[in-house]
Amino acid sequence: MVKAVYGYRAGDRQGPTYRAGERQGPTYRAESRTFQTAEDIIPIAELKANMSEIVRGLDDRPRPLVVTLNGKPAAVVMSPREYDLLSYRSRFVEAVNEGLADTEAGRTVDGEQVVTELLNGLGRKKPRRSSR
């Protein structure tokens, strides 16, 4: 039995239809999206046979597609938009972790000191606070 898993659209919440008694398979949770073994893993032969259709459908997929070689994960295929989002999240988390490490190590600067240094670098004097 061949399942057309790559034709599934993000707006369709049903997913594939299973016959009575047929197991759906385990569901894994990754962030806010659910990873579904039956829908998100395809053998490399299926990728080769349906490459253009799978690539065209990547923007409609809510999750990356895992490609297997000899039954083991070999590659992950995702839309450029999904890759950019994943990359952005990774850089953001890394920057937050660096900031937390700096705070723990005592590498912090007072806000007024930063303003003074920036203005001195621009050749300006620190603005006076208005007394209201």
pLDDT in tens, 20-63: 444 444 444 444 466 666 778 999 999 999 999 999 999 888 88
* CB contact at 8 A, 96 and 104: no
Percentage of the chain lying above the pLDDT 70 cut: 64
How far apart, in Å, are the Cα atoms of 115 and each of 91, 99, 106, 121, 125? 26, 19, 19, 10, 10
Give the pLDDT band (50/70/90) at residue 13: very low
Residue 70's SS3 state is coil
The tokens describing 74, both together, are: 């070999």
Q: Average pLDDT, stretch 73-93? A: 93
Report, at the CATH architecture level, how domain 27-78 is classified: 3-Layer(aba) Sandwich (3.40)
Of 15, 12, 66, 20, give the one whose Cα is nearest residue 44.
66
Strand ranges of the sheet holding 65-69, from the earlier edge strand across to the other edge: 41-43, 65-69, 72-77
| Identity of the amino acid at 28 | Y
Rg (CA), the chain: 25
Structure tokens at 7: 């034709």
Q: What is the pTM of this model?
A: 0.52
**Domain residues of the chain, as ranges?**
27-78, 82-121
Residue for token digits 């006076």?
128
Specify the residue for token string 């299926």: 46
For residue 107, is pLDDT > 80? yes
d(CA 87, CA 82): 9
